Structure 1
Amino acid sequence: MKAPSSYFDPADLTEDDDATRPYNLKSRMARGVNKLPLARRIHRLGLRVASYFHRLQWKLTFAYTLFTAGTILILAVVALALLWYLNFQSNLYPNAVADAMSKGVPPLADFLEQNPPDQAGLQRWLDDAIKANYLIMNVPKDKTGQDAETRVPGFFGEVELAAIVDTDGHVLAVNADDEAIVLNEALPGHLSPQAASVLEAALRGETDVAQLATRGEGSLTAAAPIWGRDNQVVGAMLFTTPAFPISESEFLQNVLQQMILPFAGIMLVVGVVVGALFGFLIARGLTRRLRNLSEAADAWSEGNFHVLAQDNGGDELSRLAGHLNHMAIQLQNLLQTRQELAGLEERNRLARELHDSVKQQVFATAMQVGAAKALIDRQPEQVKPHLQEAEHLVREAQQELTTLILELRPAALEGQGLARALNHYVTDWSRQTKIKADVRISGERPLPLPTEQTLFRVAQEALANIARHSRAATVEIYLGWEADEIRLVISDNGCGFNVSQVNGKGVGLQSMRERIEVLGGQFFVKSQPGVGTQVIAQIVNPEKRSTS
Structure 2
Amino acid sequence: MLKRLSSIRYTFIRSHLFGLILNTFVLLAVLLSIHVWFTPEWLAAGAILLFMGIYFLLGLFMSFYAGFRSSGDLKDRIDSLSTVITHLARGNFKTKVLFSEEDEIARIASELNELGGKLQEQKDSLVRLADEKAELAKKAHSAATMEERQRLARDLHDAVSQQLFALTMMSQAAVRVFDKKPDQAKRQLEEISAMALQAQTEMRALLLHLRPVHLSGEPLTKGIERLVEELEQKCPIHFHVQMEETGGLSQTKEEHLFRIIQEALSNILRHSNATDVNVSLKEKNEELFLHIGDNGVGFNMKEKETIVASYGLKTMRERTGEIGGNFALRSREGEGTHIDIRVPLQTVKGEIG
Other-structure match for 1:289: 91
Q: 1:156 to 1:357 in 2, by over 3 A?
A: farther
For 2:344 and 2:270, the matched residues in 1 are separated by: 21
Residue aligned with 2:263, SS: helix
Matches within 5 A, 1:368-517: 368-410=170-212, 420-429=222-231, 432=235, 434=237, 436-438=239-241, 440=243, 442=245, 456-465=258-267, 474-477=278-281, 490-493=290-293, 507-508=311-312
Contact 1:526-1:533 within 8 A present in 2 as well? yes
What pairs with 1:94-493 in structure 2 (closer than 5 Å)?
A: 284-289=86-91, 314-410=116-212, 420-429=222-231, 432=235, 434=237, 436-438=239-241, 440=243, 442=245, 456-465=258-267, 474-477=278-281, 490-493=290-293
Distance 1:325 1:439 in 2: 48
Return the alpha-carbon distance in structure 2 between the equivalents of residues 504 and 336 of structure 1.
Answer: 29
Distance in 2 between the 1:434 and 1:340 partners?
Answer: 35
Q: Tell me the TM-score normalised to structure 1 length.
A: 0.35
Following TM superposition, by how much is the alpha carbon of 1:350 offset from its aligned partner in structure 2, in angstroms? 0.8
Equivalent in the alignment of 1:522: 323
The Cα of 1:397 is off from its aligned counterpart by 1.5
Q: Is residue 544 from structure 1 mapped to residue 347 from structure 2 by the alignment?
A: no
Shift in Å at residue 401 of structure 1?
Answer: 1.8
Per-residue CA deviation, residues 26-83 of structure 1 (Å, 9 max, x unaligned), is xxxxxxxxxxxxxxxxxxxxxxxxxxxxxxxxxxxxxxxx9x99xx79xx8xx99xx9
Please name the residue that 1:534 is paired with.
Answer: 341
Counterparts in 2 of 1:281 and 1:362: CA distance versus 1, 3 Å: same
Change (3 A) 1:474 1:326: same
Maintained 8 Å contact 2:174/2:188: yes
- How many Å apart are 1:384 and its aligned residue? 1.7
Q: Secondary structure at the match of 1:474?
A: strand
For 1:199, the equivalent position in structure 2 comes to none
Q: Distance in 1 between matches of 2:76 and 2:282?
A: 61
CA gap of 1:369–1:415, structure 2 versus 1, over 3 A, is farther
What does the per-residue CA deviation read over 1:310-368, in whole Å, with 9 as the maximum and x for residues that have no partner? xxx95233222212111111211211121112112211221232234313422332343
2:245 and 2:271 mapped to 1: Cα distance? 29
- Distance in 1 of aligned mates of 2:347 and 2:148: 25
Deviations 1:261-285 (A, max 9, x none): x99xx99xx99x9999889866654
Equivalent pairs counted in the alignment come to 269
Residues in 2 aligned to 1:504 and 1:387: alpha-carbon distance in whole angstroms: 37
Deviations 1:182-205 (A, max 9, x none): xxxxxxxxxxxxxxxxxxxxxxxx
AA aligned opposite 2:280: E
Identity, % of aligned pairs? 26
Match of 1:217 in 2: none
Distance between the aligned counterparts of 2:140 and 2:174, measured in 1? 49
More helix by share: 2
1:407–1:488 distance in 2 versus 1, CA, 3 Å: farther
Distance 1:515 1:473, change over 3 A: closer
Q: Using the alignment, how far apart are the partners of 2:288 and 2:148 within structure 1?
A: 21
SS in 1 for 2:350: helix
Partner of residue 108, structure 1: none
Aligned partner of 1:150 in structure 2 is: none
> Distance in 2 between the 1:505 and 1:540 partners?
37
Cα gap change, 1:473 to 1:454, in 2 (>3 Å):
closer
Counterpart residue identity of residue 325, structure 2: F
Shift of 1:412: 7.3
Change (3 A) 1:394 1:377: same
Measured in 2, the distance between the counterparts of 1:538 and 1:349 equals 33
Quick one: structure 1 residues 469 and 401, their matched pair in 2 at CA, closer, same or farther if it must change by over 3 Å? closer
Q: What is residue 206 of structure 1 aligned with on the other side?
A: none
Tell me, in whole angstroms, the C-alpha distance in 1 between the residues paired with 2:277 and 2:178: 43
RMSD: 6.4
Match of 1:114 in 2: none
Residue matched to 1:137: none
- Given that residues 418 and 452 in structure 1 are in contact (C-alpha distance below 8 angstroms), is that contact kept between their aligned partners in structure 2? yes
Change in 2 beyond 3 A, CA 1:413/1:493? closer
Q: Is the contact between residue 208 and residue 262 of structure 2 (CA under 8 Å) also seen in structure 1?
A: no
Task: Give 1:287 deviation, angstroms.
Answer: 4.0
- Conserved? CA contact 1:369–1:386, under 8 Å: yes
Q: Tell me which amino acid in the other structure corresponds to 2:291.
A: S
Structure 2 stretches of 5 or more lacking a match? 1-5, 39-58, 93-114, 332-337
| Contact kept? 2:264, 2:292, Cα under 8 Å | no
Q: Extract unaligned runs of 5+ from structure 1.
A: 1-65, 88-131, 135-153, 159-174, 176-257, 291-312, 480-486
Paired residue type of 1:438: V
